[in-house]
């Protein structure tokens, strides 16, 4: 599909979504007495806990997200579904933590270079998702961004998981290049005006790392984020007269570090720089710190465009907006978590189950319901999103999930908020973590000892107090055993997988 055909197809396709069954517009069962609210859930990719101004960032400009926080509620103890992309997104969409979710790791279905099969392990046919749940309640559903839960022609494609309208990367590996040859639009390839280049290459040894021309090959004409944001705007415009659910899993700031020149100019000369030559995977960049900051600021700008359109259409007062990140900051590809203090006082980064890998920002705004400029220390996680959105829509919460609705907290009624007995994570067929009250435990492998930290006194997880609290360790060991079901895709070593 070329660009011109795409625009025709997009206009017709989104318009058809707008008139999909609107269902019962009453929210009386939830006590709101008005039409179902629109829901916008925005998910950044590898954005650290301290990489927004409203969470203490000093170097990166995020005015729209800072404004969102000032107009709503900011959570200080919210956790992602996992410490890497695919399982975190599966948890978010299904309400099941990684001890029960079908996808528990970035399980690749193909190789890294051109011509390989696109996609990761797909969600199973018939999986109940936030989108399918809301679609049955009369919502038009759209997703623009990075998917990672099933490649082309698999049961896990977005349009088979409850989404009416979809545009973006199906494959997480493909998303390592912000100037791809194609994206996907409702099951069809959307060809972009970009030349192919691998997203994993080093600067040639004979290239001058201080010459801008040396990096010209790592760019293109159509920036994927721009295309996806344009589609989000079309979706909102087309569905302004009926309730919609817009899921925006933006790929920023996941490396490769790439950003258009107009955004890079905002940080020209802002930081001391050492050219990144591609030595830690992903693409080279002459000014990686400036480009990394510019990527986040451009995403913030795009979020501002979407929220601005919602405001222009007079939909703001009846729209719940939530923003978060799929895990902590990465450690490669030219990123510099130390320079930006990306996770602040927290320990660990992406691929770690310490706090820096899984504690993430969360902001929620819903005028007239969520009090502006409020702060919540409610302990919550991605598996709580599904029941929360069910409550917002005034529909029944699915029974077979791990989540607890955060709605009482959002509505300023913390005494009515149910709490988790514990939060549980597992990753990479071996690593486990538990949050139990003030206690945080990490076990790096099933044959390793449990590390125990008192987050009330040691948020940086620097002092392992397991030897002092054997009773707590014993309880958490029981949780780690009972908190999961064996998966044939991801059994722990020594376990017999389910058939």
Task: Give, in words, the CATH class of 3-422.
Answer: alpha beta
- Strand-pair category, 73-79 with 359-365: antiparallel
The CATH architecture annotation of domain 429-499 reads 2-Layer Sandwich (3.30)
Positive or negative, the CA dihedral 143, 380, 57, 316 is positive
Q: E strand or H helix at 290, and its extent?
A: helix 288-312
Contact indicator for 361, 76 with CB cutoff of 8 Å? no
CATH 3.40.720.10 domain extents, the chain: 3-422
Alpha carbons 420 and 64: distance in angstroms, whole number: 32
pLDDT of residue 498: 44
- Taking every pair of Cα atoms in the chain, the longest distance, rounded to a whole number of angstroms, is 69
- Strand-pair category, 423-427 with 244-249: unpaired
Alpha carbons 13 and 5: distance in angstroms, whole number: 12
CATH 3.30.1120.10 domain extents, the chain: 429-499
Contacts of 427 (CB under 8 A, 6+ apart): 82, 83, 84, 87, 98, 104, 105, 351, 353
Per-residue pLDDT of the chain (499 residues; tens, 9 = 90+): 444 444 444 444 443 333 333 333 333 334 344 589 999 999 999 999 999 999 999 999 999 999 999 999 999 999 999 999 999 999 999 999 999 999 999 988 877 677 778 999 999 999 999 999 999 999 999 999 999 999 999 999 999 999 999 999 999 999 999 999 999 999 999 999 999 999 999 999 999 999 999 999 999 999 999 999 999 999 999 999 999 999 999 999 999 999 999 999 999 999 999 999 999 999 999 999 999 999 999 999 999 999 999 999 999 999 999 999 999 999 999 999 999 999 999 999 999 999 999 999 999 999 999 999 999 999 999 999 999 999 999 999 988 999 999 999 999 999 999 999 999 999 988 899 999 999 999 999 989 999 999 999 999 999 999 999 999 999 999 999 988 888 777 787 666 544 3
Each residue of 180-204: pLDDT tens digit?
Answer: 999 999 999 999 999 999 999 999 9
Angle (deg, nearest 10), helices 63-70 and 288-312: 50
Q: In what order do the strands lie in the sheet with 439-443?
A: 423-427, 431-436, 439-443, 451-454
Alpha carbons 323 and 249: distance in angstroms, whole number: 10
Alpha helices in 402-483 (DSSP H): 407-410, 470-482
pLDDT of residue 491: 80
Alpha helices in 329-439 (DSSP H): 337-340, 355-358, 385-393, 407-410
Contact indicator for 294, 257 with CB cutoff of 8 Å? no
Which pTM does this prediction carry? 0.92
Looking at the DSSP bridge assignments, the partners of residue 248 are 42
Tokens at residue 331, please? 């450690």
């Amino acid at each position: 599909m070329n660009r011109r055909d795409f625009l025709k197809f997009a206009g017709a396709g989104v318009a058809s979504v707008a008139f999909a069954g609107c269902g019962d517009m009453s929210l009386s069962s939830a006590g709101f007495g008005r039409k179902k609210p629109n829901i916008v859930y925005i998910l950044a990719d590898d954005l650290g806990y301290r990489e927004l101004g409203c969470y203490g960032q000093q170097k990166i400009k995020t005015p729209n997200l800072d404004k969102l926080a000032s107009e709503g509620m900011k959570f200080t103890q919210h956790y992602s579904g996992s410490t890497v992309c695919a399982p975190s997104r599966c948890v978010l969409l299904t309400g099941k933590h990684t001890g029960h979710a079908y996808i528990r790791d970035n399980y690749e279905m193909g190789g890294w270079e051109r011509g390989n099969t696109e996609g990761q392990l797909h969600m199973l046919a018939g999986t109940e998702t936030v989108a399918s749940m809301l679609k049955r309640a009369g919502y038009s559903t759209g997703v623009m961004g990075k998917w990672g839960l099933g490649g082309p022609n698999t049961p896990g494609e977005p349009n088979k998981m409850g989404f009416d309208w979809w545009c973006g990367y199906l494959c997480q590996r493909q998303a390592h290049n912000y100037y791809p040859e194609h994206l996907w639009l409702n099951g069809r390839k959307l060809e972009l005006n970009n030349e192919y280049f691998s997203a994993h290459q080093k600067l040639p040894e004979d290239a001058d790392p201080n010459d801008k021309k040396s990096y010209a090959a790592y760019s293109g004409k159509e920036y994927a984020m721009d295309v996806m944001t344009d589609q989000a705007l079309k979706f909102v415009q087309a569905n302004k007269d009926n309730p919609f659910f817009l899921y925006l899993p933006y790929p920023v700031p996941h490396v490769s570090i790439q950003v258009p020149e107009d955004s890079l100019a905002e940080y020209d000369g802002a930081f001391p720089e050492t050219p990144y030559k591609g030595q830690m995977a992903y693409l080279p960049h002459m000014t990686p710190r400036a480009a990394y900051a510019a990527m986040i600021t451009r995403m913030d700008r795009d979020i501002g465009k979407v929220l601005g359109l919602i405001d222009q259409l007079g939909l703001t007062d009846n729209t719940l907006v939530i923003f978060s990140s799929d895990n902590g900051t990465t450690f490669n590809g030219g990123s510099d978590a130390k320079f930006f203090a990306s996770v602040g006082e927290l320990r660990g980064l992406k691929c770690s189950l310490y706090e820096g890998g899984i504690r993430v920002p969360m902001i929620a705004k819903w005028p007239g319901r969520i009090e502006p400029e409020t702060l919540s220390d409610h302990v919550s996680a991605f598996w709580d999103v599904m029941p929360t959105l069910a409550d917002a829509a005034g529909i029944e919460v699915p029974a077979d999930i791990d989540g607890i609705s955060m709605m009482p907290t959002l509505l300023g009624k913390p005494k009515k908020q149910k709490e988790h007995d514990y939060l549980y994570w597992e990753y990479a067929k071996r690593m486990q973590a538990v949050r139990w009250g003030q206690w945080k435990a990490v076990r790096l492998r099933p044959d390793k000892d449990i590390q125990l930290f008192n987050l009330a006194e040691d948020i940086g997880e620097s002092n392992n107090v397991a030897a002092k609290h054997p009773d707590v360790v014993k309880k958490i060991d029981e949780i780690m055993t009972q908190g999961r079901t064996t998966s044939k895709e991801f059994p722990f070593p020594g376990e017999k997988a389910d058939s």
